[in-house]
Amino acid sequence: MAGRGLPKAFLACIELLTRRKHGLISDQDWELLCRLPSHVDDFKRNGTYGNIEMMAMGAPQFALPPNMFDKDFIAAMYARVSPPHVA
In the chain, where the domains are located: 19-81
Query: Which SS3 state, helix, strand or coil, does residue 40 take?
Result: helix
Tell me the average pLDDT across 28-33: 96
Global model pTM greater than 0.85:
no
Determine the pLDDT at residue 33. Answer: 94
Determine the pLDDT at residue 61. Answer: 77
Task: Spell out the long-range contacts of 41-46 with Cβ–Cβ below 8 A and sequence spacing 24 or more.
Answer: 42/79, 42/84, 43/79, 43/84, 43/87, 46/84, 46/85, 46/87
Determine the pLDDT at residue 87. Answer: 45
Q: What is the pLDDT of residues 31-87, one digit of tens each?
A: 999 999 988 999 999 998 998 998 888 887 776 776 788 889 999 999 999 876 654
CB 27 within 8 A of CB 72: no
The letter for the amino acid at 73 is F
